[in-house]
Amino acid sequence: MLTSHFWSGDAIRSRSVSDIVLSATLDVPAPSARVLADWQRETASRLELEPGDVEVMPLARTQMRWPDYRQCVQAMSDWTRALGLSNVLASSDMALMACRGAHYHHDGAQYGSAAFCNLFLSEDRGLDLHFPHAGHRIPLKRGTAVIFDTGQPHGVIQRRSSGFNAADFPPDQDCIQIFLTWELPIEDAGVGRALEVCFDVARQTSTQLDEQQVLLDGAPVAVCPESGVLNRTGRASPDS
């Protein structure tokens, strides 16, 4: 069992890692040619994305040059509200991101107190968001919306592939996905309920930790970046 230990105020708290992935395809406008050209320049010249990289894009510039982005935010707000998440989206941090695929990983060490809520803005590039441990595989295209636990291992891979392979992302092929992302507080009642998260599942272990981390059956876990396979990397903790 995967367990996330995360900062809650000034203390470490434990919780289960949800294998639920909420997804939908929303009707959102296509980015303008000006915005697409700006994204292409940014990813090619400044970010210089290598296969597997996920990087932050300049959100303010996109907001200024693409007024219709507000329709994307409204569509996400309507969807999350329909899921019972009330107005949590409006009070959550938002960022614009770019990825050229993504190595398998989890984000529990940095974002253990959150769930990710993503809206993909690029057209279909033949990529899937894959959760190998939880058994979900979601085709990515404009309007794909997902909510998932940051502690759940995931990657972005070619649709025909069973794992991450850098050769699937050649430099002469457009393999970049642009997406909006929000950090939803995992302790929000609606978020926890939607993902069926159980809290305080390893209280004793939490008292012994001083940093956020994800444990597998009580031991530190590593994610193979190519296959997504989970491996325990240390000795089990006392209450595993």
The predicted-structure confidence for 133-162, as pLDDT tens digits, reads as follows 999 999 999 999 999 999 999 999 999 999
Q: Work out the pLDDT band at 55, boundaries 50, 70, 90.
A: very high
Do the domain assignments include residue 116? yes
Q: Which CATH number do you get for residue 181?
A: 2.60.120.10
CA distances from 33 to 36, 37, 38, 180 (A): 5, 6, 9, 18
Global confidence as pTM = 0.94
Do the domain assignments include residue 103? yes
Domain assignment of residue 47, given as a range: 19-195
Do the domain assignments include residue 115? yes
Q: How far is 7 from 9, CA to CA, in rounded Å?
A: 6
Do the domain assignments include residue 72? yes
Do the domain assignments include residue 8? no
Q: Is the pLDDT of residue 234 over 80?
A: no
* Cβ-contact 132, 104 below 8 angstroms: yes
Do the domain assignments include residue 92? yes
Q: Is the pLDDT of residue 127 over 70?
A: yes
Do the domain assignments include residue 240? no
* 52 bridge partner residues: none
Do the domain assignments include residue 98? yes
Q: Is the pLDDT of residue 1 over 90?
A: no
Q: How far is CA 190 from the centre of its chain?
A: 18
3-state secondary structure of 64: helix
The predicted-structure confidence for 59-108, as pLDDT tens digits, reads as follows 999 999 999 999 999 999 999 999 999 999 999 999 999 999 999 999 99
User: In this structure, what DSSP letter does residue 191 have?
Assistant: H
The predicted-structure confidence for 13-31, as pLDDT tens digits, reads as follows 999 999 999 999 999 999 9
Q: List the one residue out of 54, 55, 92 whose CA is nearest residue 186.
A: 92
Number of domains the chain contains: 1
Amino acid in the structure at residue 164: F
